[in-house]
Chains A and B, each alone.
Chain A
């Protein structure tokens, strides 16, 4: 038994290049499975799985680090600026370097685009892994990064300078919006070509989900580059980004990224999840697109939209639960045994995302979209509560999970820094929940006082002031957490900048080794556990073979006698 482990351990450390070729022939099954732990439990092997795969460290994975780093930095900046706005709502006389309109549009735009940047990095990192295929063009990744990040910087700069298109969430001036679409087109182009080059069947749910997600991201954004003069039509098209991006396009991408991430960490069985994923994706597409109707109730459309919005918003809750169920499926009770801190923190962030998906987005959203209730709570701070819990709660946490996982591919944090990460996640959660509760109370009171009692907005604002102050407290807690998290990440990336951003032979070799062993012992222990399963399986196969051989020998003996 121990000799098996010795051989096994050596095969890890031998590097995945030609030197292992002989070993592959001797123990093809063993070597193959160590390389693809996520396929370990597959009951049947398909044709492509039979071929031993080379261990490859995809260039795309290395090139996705800047996306993850940029996402973390924007995440930190977002919280800082948002507090200015929250402060100004409670104390309007307070002097401010920029007008409230610029600050709020800054907040909305950064909150929409930083998850996009992080998710793009996640796509590059995980798509190659899922497709077993190097990216079509590495140069395009860098171009994509520069285009996306510089466009976001230009958008934020122009908003501060007062260039504002005056449409909520789409305040960026039109050329900059076009540049953002161009960045998404680059992503789609690169990923589609990678998909076409793949050597595995293209029906893998994660790949299809990410591809269709990016495609829909673009087709629903494009009409927003046109200027509409009719207010109702403008509102109709606006929600193709404000709603559809978050609840359909980015959710499809998110589900693909989240599943790839969970498969990579837990080594769960892909086949079990495949059908569930497709069902989830179909429901997201069906409900996500038609539930846009809940934003259309009062903008001047026929009453049939009350039905469309109401019914499909109810259906929207199902994918949230399905995602929870499919995430649970990847987990087993030993999930945290021997898992390193990097994986634990990533899993915690994914768990946060799933939690807010069910409560903040799913159930809260469903309650608010019920037309009879929506009539009263629409246009109050309750919408703000929902969007904080849904947009950051679901997409933000997932983006943080994937970015954290990406940036720690090759580096390890100190124990103190891991503790800081846990602390910051706790602070962000507490802050977000306090904000959510405070805004819900403010919104509920606003709805009651405005629409039941009939006070003026000025009187109502005076009465809900304590809750807005509470929101500020939540916001500050969130900011402490987010700044701490960003600081830990930026500090460590800066410290290891040569290691992360070089690309010579030594770096490639190290990355190959890292990919085999994992960045800490936790990963190694998982792989050893999986090896133990394999060894047991091989032993029982040997036993069966021995029994069969013995029976043949007996038969031959009998015949010769």
Chain B
């Protein structure tokens, strides 16, 4: 094998392994906080409704619906009722209604969002500067 090719393959393998180790450490840290079954069910419900297409969680997702990382702090225990209520889409929609969850789904998704809210994520999103 020629030197350049060996060099490339070595860089590729070492980088992949190093990345794997770093990710494993991050996973270990994250999993030190176990996921309760209700949160897991909430995650499934959140995914089945494809909420991520409009909203972001940890800043990843769609950009029109707003970030949900700290939404539990905003609504607290009222969150399940809010999720189950019928309400307009927000923004400039006059007729369009936001998707409604049933009571059980609302409870589960609220638990999921509470779990997200309490994740230590280097205090993102930042506190607003002027307000």
Contact = CB atoms under 8 A, between A and B. Distances in A.
Interface residues of A, number: 74
A19 interface: no
A292 interface: yes
Contacts of A232: 26-27, 30, 119
A146 B22 CA distance: 38
A282 B7 contact: yes
A207 B46 CA distance: 43
B47 interface: yes
A286 B91 contact: no
A461 B26 contact: no
A443 B56 CA distance: 14
Contacts of A93: 93-96
A166 B119 contact: no
B52 A300 contact: no
Contact of A289 (B15, B90, B129): B15
Interface in B1-52: 1-2, 4-5, 7-9, 11-12, 15-16, 18-19, 22-23, 25-27, 29-31, 35, 39-40, 43, 46-52
Given A285-B12, A457-B90, A451 B122 contact: no
Given A290-B19, A457-B90, A462-B91, A104 B53 contact: yes
A92 B51 CA distance: 16
Contacts of B89: 92
Contact of B63 (A165, A384, A456, A458): A384
Contact of B19 (A100, A165, A292, A376): A292
B15 A458 contact: no
Contacts of B7: 278, 282
B91 A458 contact: yes
A272 to B, nearest CB: 13
A515 to B, nearest CB: 29
Interface stretch (A302-310, A349-357, A425-433): A302-310
Contacts of B8: 208, 212, 278, 281-282, 285
A298 interface: yes
Contact of B92 (A300, A308, A457, A461): A461
B52 A166 contact: yes
B23 A453 contact: no
Contacts of B53: 100-101, 104-105, 168
Sorted nearest first, the 6 A-B pairs with minimum C-beta distance are A166-B47, A379-B59, A454-B131, A454-B128, A457-B66, A298-B124
Interface of B: 1-2, 4-5, 7-9, 11-12, 15-16, 18-19, 22-23, 25-27, 29-31, 35, 39-40, 43, 46-54, 56-67, 69, 89-96, 112, 115-116, 119-122, 124-126, 128-131
28 contacts: A92-B89, A100-B54, A104-B54, A166-B51, A168-B53, A168-B61, A203-B4, A212-B12, A216-B12, A230-B31, A231-B115, A235-B60, A236-B26, A282-B7, A290-B19, A295-B60, A298-B121, A378-B59, A379-B58, A379-B59, A380-B63, A384-B63, A451-B128, A454-B128, A457-B66, A457-B90, A457-B91, A461-B90
Interface of A: 89, 91-93, 100-102, 104-105, 164-168, 171, 201, 203, 205, 208, 212, 216, 229-236, 238, 274-275, 278, 281-282, 285-286, 289-290, 292, 295-306, 308, 375-376, 378-381, 383-384, 443, 446, 450-454, 456-458, 461-462, 465
